[in-house]
Amino acid sequence: MPLTQDKLKHLEELCRLVRYFIIESTSRAGSGHPSSSLSAVELMVCLFFEGFLRYDPDRPGHPNNDRVIFSKGHASPLLYSLYAAAGRVSENELLAMRSFQSPLEGHPTPAFAYTEAATGSLGQGLSIGLGMALNGRYLDRLPYTTYVLLGDSEMSEGSQWEAIQIAAYYRLDNLVAVLDVNRLGQRGQTMYGHDLEAYRRRLEAFGWEVLMVDGHSLPDIAAAYAEAGQIADRPAAILARTIKGKGVANIEDQNGWHGKALKGQDYRAALDGLGRVDTSLQGSISLPQDLEPAARQTNRPLSPPVFSEAVSTREAYGKSLSALFAKRPDLVALDGEVSNSTHAAEVKEHFPERFFEMFVAEQNMAGAALGLGLRGKTPFVSTFAAFFTRTFDQLRMGQYSGGNLKCVGSHAGVSIGQDGSSQMGLEDLAMFRSLFGSVVLYPCDGPSTARLVEEAAGHDGLVYIRTSRGKTPVIYGPEEPFPIGGCKVLCRSEADLFTVCASGITVHEALKAAQTLEKEGLKVRVVDLYSVKPLDRQTLLRAGHETGGLIVVEDHYPEGGIGEAVASTLSATSIPVYSLAVTRLPRSGKPEELLDFEGISQRAIVDKVRELSEN
């Protein structure tokens, strides 16, 4: 229905109020991005206050709420000003934006109650929105819509196009991208400037429905939102030609104003140009329906796997996760087109409705998993350990959203063998260890994998599980507990000369080395550091005090690996820590050849103990 004159006037007054809030808040802060916020005012005011957005501000977590993600997170002054115009943020709170105690941070974080996800690193919001849309369409089956405000600069990010193609593949007609094409980036014109046709051709080629509008015409914008709501079986993109700095004459469409607050005469001129602003004006957001999410059912119960013979930990992961899916209907799985190798295909076979193929697009996979997690699901995300390095920025940002992701990296280390260096995860432990609040787990056999998958599923936060390609012997019983932060002392005596600390594949090398050394009359303690982060400091301290030092052996580069983690944990002590790690450029070969080549095999451990015992 076209806008009536009364509605149009009301929206225009709200736009003026929102612009006033943007200018006041950024000028008071002395920093921020007013010009990038001003360009999208009409786009967002129309969405929020013309009845298109269905959202209960009293219940931000309500499952029926539409979702709005500011992928162009630097436009946070606009986000905060919208809620000020809705009467949810006071003017005093708004004017404290960017101060230390304020939840209104420089880029949106969940400290602000109405933030869906932390944004600001460009090119990620659409993936997160895609995950939320997947949840609405395929899991909760609720009629909410996810809106994502995009900037034209971030359309150069490859992660955007990963998300764009997957959204079309899954026919997400509950996902609407709003592209603010204001022409100017941080240092000048964007790749396509105001050429909306360039964006239209690309989006349509990927299978999106595209609507082109004047981004400052409220009637045009309202018509586009109405039409987007009627599109079936494909996502919609509203391409809006806008002017950066719109509403402030001396900065409109002017380069050099990105990320700069208005000051002095510029500030006063901006307020004068707005004219009379009614600060008592308030916009109203429409409430959503109150529907129950679809009942979460399991296809059929699966008995927990029994591992009595040698099995790869990647295979044990797939079987263990499938069994857990039968008990935990909140679990979902995503994989990067390698599920036959990661063994996430086990989930796909038994619970296809909760498995999402993300194809070879790992950045989008991580973002989509975050979106699912923020809608109450517990996502397990799998690919080769090496390929998770592509997702580091998504994971880094996820920690600021409170993401509940479980990442599982297979084919770790040189022990994968003949596939060669491109497939070997050798940096993954360092990467995941560096993330705030993360947990890093590294099982060595089938039973430990099963227990650690359960531990990961029950932990609130980011967990990384590292799995191996080759089969390994079973050394634990099916009921052995594996709490996060623990370790296992596998052999111990009062005569131990040194303690060999190992994880995953090297646990078995350490046990074989201990047997060889014992025949020579040299005893060593062997500890399975299955919890790489957090480490069991007390057990390491005890072992360090009772033996001549710790020898850490790992199938990973030394930088940021387990050896450095142990050394850091014991840095305030005099306990010596020796590191055996991957220090030579790896190549193709048999697993045992590569373990020898890198000096992390049983032979290398034996040689190191002999060397140290002779000194």
Catalytic residue list: 362
- How is residue 239 written in tokens? 């391409």
- How is residue 518 written in tokens? 């014992």
DSSP string, 381-427: EEEEGGGGGGGHHHHHHHHHHT---EEEEESBSGGG-TT-GGG-B-S
Q: Where are the alpha helices (DSSP H) in 440-556?
A: 446-458, 505-519, 537-546
Q: What angle do CA 37, 42, 45 make, to 5 degrees?
A: 90
Say how far apart CA 375 and CA 402 lie, in whole Å: 12
Residue of 103, 101, 66, 100 whose CA lies nearest to 88: 103
Q: What are phi and psi of 242, to 5 degrees?
A: -130, 170
> ω before 591 within 30° of 0 (cis)?
no
Say how far apart CA 585 and CA 320 lie, in whole Å: 34
- What does R_g of the chain's alpha carbons equal in angstroms? 28
Contact 179, 199 (CB under 8 A): yes
Report how far apart, in Å, the C-alpha atoms of 594 and of each of 312, 429, 573 are: 18, 19, 34
Report how far apart, in Å, the C-alpha atoms of 415 and of each of 412, 471, 529, 532, 592 are: 7, 11, 18, 19, 7
* Beta-bridge partner residues of 213: 240
What is the rounded (10 degree) CA torsion for 270, 271, 276, 281? 110
Residue of 477, 472, 457 whose CA lies nearest to 306: 477
CB burial class (10 A; 0-12, 13-18, 19+) of residue 545?
Answer: exposed
Contact 514, 541 (CB under 8 A): no
* Beta-bridge partner residues of 463: 406, 439
How many other C-beta atoms lie within 10 A of the C-beta of residue 615? 5
